[in-house]
Amino acid sequence: MFIFFCASPAQIEVIPCKICGDKSSGVHYGVITCEGCKGFFRRSQLPTVSYSCSRQSNCQIDRASRNRCQHCRLQKCLAQGMSRDAVKFGRMSKRQRDSLIAEVERHPKTRQDRATQLLQPAYSFTGENELMPYAADVHPYLFCSPNESQVSNMIYRGTGVSPVSRSQGRGDSGGHPDPSHVLVASFPYNPLENRYTFYPHSLRNTDELCASIVRAHRETSQWRVEELQGLRWKLFSREEIQAYQSKSVDEMWQHCAIRLTDAVQYVVEFAKHIPGFRMLTQNDQIALLKTGSMEVVLVRMSRFFNTENNTVYFDGKFAGADLFKSLACGDLITAVFDFAHDMCALKLSEHQLALFSALVLINTDRPCLEDRGKVQRVQRTVELGLRHILQKDNQEGLMAKLYQKMAVLRSLCSLHMEKLRWFSQRYPLTVHSLFPPLYKELFTSEADLLPG
């Protein structure tokens, strides 16, 4: 079902997120917010969630700091008027609606010429020479029945720019407490896309292709490199580590599934801005994301890894492998940490990491592809871009090492699936009822939920 807010999406999106000031994507739970704050507020309503502030409950909440204190972020959400009822029922009150309409009408930018608005990209890149302008075609509070493909909806339906207007809370794991409906994650669909999206071979040169992918990578990264460098001093205390270790197996799995889903949503948005990806068939886009999104998440994890003490950024601080003990899959965690350490040893630049991530995703070896020839053309173009970047950096020898890493990624994801099947057989209700729908769509099957 659709619940329409009378202001146009282009009007709403010029108003910054009321919580953190980032680019907004529409009205979420009664307040104009970005996708990250929408997802954070929804997750905060789970009965198992409880936040506390280690300071004075007056932390500043903005785009750069919004992940540092969940308690204060939630309080700001409530203070700005985000509705718990809207999370449950997908509705806002008449008072909220009238207030939002008035605010939109007051905002000076909303009175710009509508034709100009339509030509603005629904996804904001900071770079020059935009390759893919998208007209905004959005519906706030978009619902679908639970049996519809979550991945398909993420690609083809939505409420604005992405789950990724930048932050870890920036993603939306796609779950919804009401069992009768699933709140679909927000991704723009543009019916005019074929007029604007270019096949890879129509790009003016390889540099332009690389610039497009690098921009997509930069804008869909949960944290910038410099931000992560500044956070390296934040380590979990012994007491905090013990608190994670004392969680039950199903509680920790659920927690990590939510965090992984956040990261996957950034990957989905990244994929949509790889030149040629959205020209593939819907089936092939979904097939590539189902089989490749986890691999890209693991590649990106290397940005969150500190080789000096073998810790990874998780839940606002850097954690060692021992923090994940209650998952009861130590071999998987050890393998993931080893992979992140080895990736860091390659010392890839952000440009190289961006092109490698795209190549990992666009892979003709994936099963269930309809048009392998078209996928292969995109893959070859991305591979050409990566070789071009490595040649410019005088590091052509890295290509063979990167292909070796792709084989390791495949084995890691197989191990993840094996552990998930083990967990699903023991805790089917947790997977069925508490895991984010997107996580279930990507990584589980109905057979996994049957008791062993």
Question: Considering only the top CATH level, what class is 204-443?
Answer: mainly alpha
> How confident is the model over 168-177, as pLDDT tens digits?
333 333 333 3
Confidence at 361, pLDDT banded by 50, 70, 90: very high
Measured between alpha carbons, how far is 176 from 167 in angstroms, rounded to an integer? 20
User: Residue 337: pLDDT above 50?
Assistant: yes
What's the mean pLDDT in 363-378? 92
Higher pLDDT, 81 or 293: 293
Question: Considering only the top CATH level, what class is 26-90?
Answer: alpha beta
Confidence at 98, pLDDT banded by 50, 70, 90: low
Among 66-70, 76-80, 226-230, the least confident range: 226-230
Where do you find CATH 1.10.565.10 in the chain? 204-443
Which residues sit opposite 317 in a β-bridge? 314
What's the mean pLDDT in 11-24? 79
Mean pLDDT of the chain: 75
Phi then psi dihedrals of residue 235, to 5 deg: -115, 150
Where do you find CATH 3.30.50.10 in the chain? 26-90
DSSP structure string for 65-76? TTTT-HHHHHHH
Residue 262: closest CA among 153, 406, 165, 359: 165
| Alpha-carbon 380 to chain mean position | 25
Number of H helices, E strands in the chain: 19, 7
What pLDDT does residue 351 have? 94
User: Residue 10: pLDDT above 60?
Assistant: no
